[in-house]
Amino acid sequence: MSAALLTGCANTFLKPTEGSERVLLMKTSQVTTCRPLGKVNVSVVTKVGIYNRDADAVEANLLQLGQNNAIELGGDTLVKDATPEFGKQVFAVYKCKR
């Protein structure tokens, strides 16, 4: 129960940027006609005290941070680029016509 509460609390601190819900996660093969805008490195907490956070919650937070950063760069699409370690993600940001 404590782990579930900590996971829920960690998710409430991450606020979506307006418009971030429209940023899509795609594969490299799906962005061949899109304009690359750069890359973003994001990371989140994976452990709170003695509790490890749920992998799905960590992934959701990484994606949300990527989407927030994409909006700041004027992008509308993300592609996973590198996963250096659990709790970290590099995304390539693109502007696609849609």
**Is the pTM of the predicted complex or chain greater than 0.95?**
no
Nearest to 20 by CA among 62, 81, 82, 83: 62
Instruction: For residue 8, name the pLDDT band (cuts at 50, 70, 90).
Output: very low
Residue 12's pLDDT is 52
**Residue 80 CB neighbours (<10 A):** 16
The 8-class DSSP code of residue 80 comes to E
Question: Quick one: tokens of 61?
Answer: 């937070």
Task: Dump pLDDT digits (tens) for 31-63.
Answer: 999 999 999 999 999 998 999 999 999 999 999
Return the pLDDT at 82.
85
Place of tokens 């940023």: 23
Banded model confidence at residue 83, pLDDT cuts 50, 70, 90: confident
pLDDT for the residue numbered 84: 85
Cα–Cα distances in angstroms (integers) from residue 60 to residues 11, 36, 98, in the given order: 9, 23, 24
